[in-house]
Amino acid sequence: MNRKSYFKFIDNVVILMKTQKAEGKKEAHPEKKGAFSGKLMAAVRIRGAFMMRKEVKDTLKMMRLNRKNHCVLIRVTDSSKGMLQKTKDYLTFGEISEKVLREMIIKRGRIGSRKLTSEEAENAVKEAMTEGKLKSIKPVFRLTPASGGFREIKQFFPRGELGYRGEKINELLEKMI
């Protein structure tokens, strides 16, 4: 699903929810809630804080994306979709594969300031894939700038680096690990 169809889908869901609310129904049908419900996504901050609105800055702080090249894992819910939509001008996000997640936890995962052992890393991977949260290790991964650099940090994907990129987030994460 490309970026354009994703945001078109989100708009359709919002319109459906508004019409059902007007008709007196409490909630949209569960199968119509969203294609990404329950999936594990990675969000990477690309841009700094220059001339950033306060509400966007607060949202990034809630997501624990305080600096450039920081990455967090997010289980997709309605509230997290809203947070990603609000901060799309400063970060990129997409569905992370288990292979890249494993590599990122092994190389960049930390408990306090120390690196993980192989046993701790395997437990953290299982925890992330089942629960969508990292309870035993730090939830923020400090990545390096992408090898080869970024194309354009002010344009949306596929022209630049910002916004939703789906499975292609794995390629970027491999460059940054």
What is the maximum span of the chain, computed from C-alpha positions, in angstroms? Answer: 55
- Per domain, the residue ranges of the chain are 1-34, 36-176
Spatial distance between the Cα atoms of 52 and 48, rounded to a whole number of angstroms: 8
Query: Is there a contact between 84 and 165 (Cβ–Cβ < 8 Å)?
Result: no
pLDDT digits (tens, 9 = 90+) for 84-111: 999 988 999 999 988 898 888 888 888 8
CB 173 within 8 A of CB 95: no
The pLDDT of residue 34 is above 50: no
Backbone angles phi, psi at 13, to 5 degrees: -65, -40
| Residue 54 confidence (pLDDT) above 80 | yes
Q: Is the pLDDT of residue 116 over 50?
A: yes
C-alpha to C-alpha distance for 80 and 61, rounded to whole angstroms:
13
Q: Which of 83, 95, 87, 61 is nearest to 166 (CA)?
A: 95
Kindly state the average pLDDT of the residues 15-32.
59
> What integer pLDDT is reported at residue 31 of this predicted model?
39
- Amino acid making up residue 101: L
CATH of domain 36-176: 3.30.1390.20
Which pTM does this prediction carry?
0.71
> Is the pLDDT reported for residue 62 higher than 80?
yes
Query: How many CB atoms are located within 10 Å of the residue 125 CB?
Result: 19
CA distances from 97 to 2, 73, 127, 157, 161 (A): 17, 11, 14, 19, 19
